[in-house]
Amino acid sequence: MISKYLTLSFVCFITCISAFCNDETVKTESTSLTHFSAGKISIGISELPWSTFNASLRWWDNNKSGSELIFSSGISGPDNISFISYIPSRYTWFERTEIPETNNIFFIKGTGVSAGYCMYSDGVRTISSTLYFPVGIEHFCFKDIPNFSYSIEARFYICGGYSFNVTSPSDDNTIFFRAGVTPQFFIRWYF
């Protein structure tokens, strides 16, 4: 339920920004097409309408390099009660290059780190740290709305963590390591 309210709030916020945003666009280095991203910051959302909510702040120092900060939260499980809190933060350093012969599509790659803490209703707590290697594209798809984009990424990751039970300290203490890839889709608004 919280995720739905966050989604509705974000959509209303983006609508207000689009109504009042009159900043000039920034020209890319390689073409005469314009987009809004260089020197700007974006707000992005993903994984909707599912119960996990990701909010992204991405900014580009120039047309070549940038950074991103992602906050996640969520409630999941049967009847939305088994998963109480999930608070990871991810920071990623990006590089991008415009793909030749395309309409403002950029190839992005980067390296990121994350720290997370999970609380489950059965007393289990998890602390984790993750190293990310995202690759993907960001597309400024509307010429009339140059500050709107979407990105599709594959985030390869290596994760290590410790899981413990606060109600029964002798049970379920686990050190774990994981590796894999997760898809990410973000809708972004630069301002």
**Of residues 84 and 89, more confidently modeled:** 89
Distance CA 48, CA 32 (A): 34
Indicate if the pLDDT at residue 63 is higher than 80: no
Residue 147: the pLDDT is 83
Residue linked to tokens 């606060």: 166
**CATH code for the part of the protein at 2-190:** 2.40.160.20
pTM here is: 0.69
Domain locations in the chain?
2-190
Q: What is the 3-state secondary structure (H, E, C) of the chain?
A: CHHHHHHHHHHHHHHHHHHHCCCCCEECCCCCCEECCECCEEEEEECCCCCEEEEEEEEECCCCEEEEEEEEEECECHHHCCEEEECCEEEEEEEEEECCCCCCEEEEEEEEEEEEEEEECCCEEEEEEEEEEEEEEEECCCCCCCCEEEEEEEEEEEEEEEEEECCCCCCCCEEEEEEEEEEEEEEEEEC
Residue 89: the pLDDT is 77
Residue linked to tokens 């002798």: 170
Q: In this predicted structure, which of 35-49, 142-156, 175-189 has the lowest mean pLDDT?
A: 35-49
Indicate if the pLDDT at residue 27 is higher than 80: no
pLDDT in tens, 154-180: 999 999 999 888 777 666 688 999 999
Closest by Cα among 77, 75, 98, 99 to 87: 75
Q: Are 37 and 28 in contact (CB under 8 A)?
A: no
Indicate if the pLDDT at residue 35 is higher than 80: no
The whole-chain average pLDDT of the chain stands at 74
Q: In this predicted structure, which of 7-11, 50-54, 96-100, 132-136 has the lowest mean pLDDT?
A: 7-11
pLDDT in tens, 109-127: 999 998 888 777 677 788 8
Residue 74: the pLDDT is 63
